[in-house]
């Protein structure tokens, strides 16, 4: 066996197992939409909390990208979000995590999507993402 082949085999045997052994977390298994995709799909209308409260699904979707980019809710608590944006309309993990549906569909390929306000262990919001509410394919 030449040195190059030996090196390749050694690389595979030694380096790949640690990467495969890293278990994924619950969040890693969820499906999220990138901001670029969201912008192409929903547009990027400016976010207005008052309008958001009473907006229809497609109007909420249009505000999603600028809401996320504004980082307005980072560090705040779920109750602050509820006061600003109204009752939650989606669902992620438990009823106490803020979620707002932005697209619903019974077509599994399209799926239903929601804004989800992820929290840290103290309950403060760390990130806002667009999550596939329904029929996410497991990765």
Shortest CB 96 distance to other proteins, Å: 6
Shortest CB 68 distance to other proteins, Å: 18
According to the binding rule CB under 8 A, does residue 34 interact with other proteins? no
For the four alpha carbons of 76, 78, 79 and 82, in that order, the dihedral sign comes to positive
Shortest CB 25 distance to other proteins, Å: 6
According to the binding rule CB under 8 A, does residue 56 interact with other proteins? no
Which of 66, 58, 68 lies closest to 98, judged by CA?
A: 68
Q: Is 57 left (phi over 0), alpha (psi -120 to 50) or beta?
A: alpha
According to the binding rule CB under 8 A, does residue 96 interact with other proteins? yes
According to the binding rule CB under 8 A, does residue 24 interact with other proteins? yes
Residue 91, token pair as written in the block: 């669902």
According to the binding rule CB under 8 A, does residue 20 interact with other proteins? no
Contact of 132 with 33, CB cutoff 8 Å: yes
According to the binding rule CB under 8 A, does residue 10 interact with other proteins? yes
Q: Please give the Cα distance from 130 to 119 (Å, whole number).
A: 14
Q: Residue from 50, 56, 87, 137 that binds other proteins (CB under 8 A)? A: 87
Torsion of CA 94, 77, 27, 133, to 10 degrees: 60
Q: Please give the Cα distance from 104 to 47 (Å, whole number).
A: 20
Shortest CB 69 distance to other proteins, Å: 23
Q: Which chain residues interact with other proteins by CB under 8 A?
A: 10-11, 14-15, 17-18, 21, 23-27, 29, 87-97, 99, 101, 104-106, 112, 118-121, 123, 126, 133-135
């Amino acid at each position: 066996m030449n040195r190059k082949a030996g090196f390749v085999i050694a690389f595979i045997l030694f380096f790949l197992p640690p990467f495969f052994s890293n278990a994924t977390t619950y969040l890693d298994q969820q499906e999220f939409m990138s901001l670029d995709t969201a912008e192409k799909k929903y547009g990027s209308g400016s976010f207005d909390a008052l309008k958001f409260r009473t907006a229809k699904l497609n109007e909420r979707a249009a505000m999603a990208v600028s809401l996320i980019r504004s980082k307005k809710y980072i560090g705040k608590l779920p109750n602050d979000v509820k006061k600003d944006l109204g009752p939650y309309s989606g669902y992620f993990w438990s009823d106490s995590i803020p979620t707002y549906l932005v697209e619903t569909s019974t077509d599994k390929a399209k799926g239903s999507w929601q804004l989800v306000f992820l929290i840290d262990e103290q309950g403060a919001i760390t990130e806002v993402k667009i999550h596939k509410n329904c029929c996410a394919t497991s990765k």
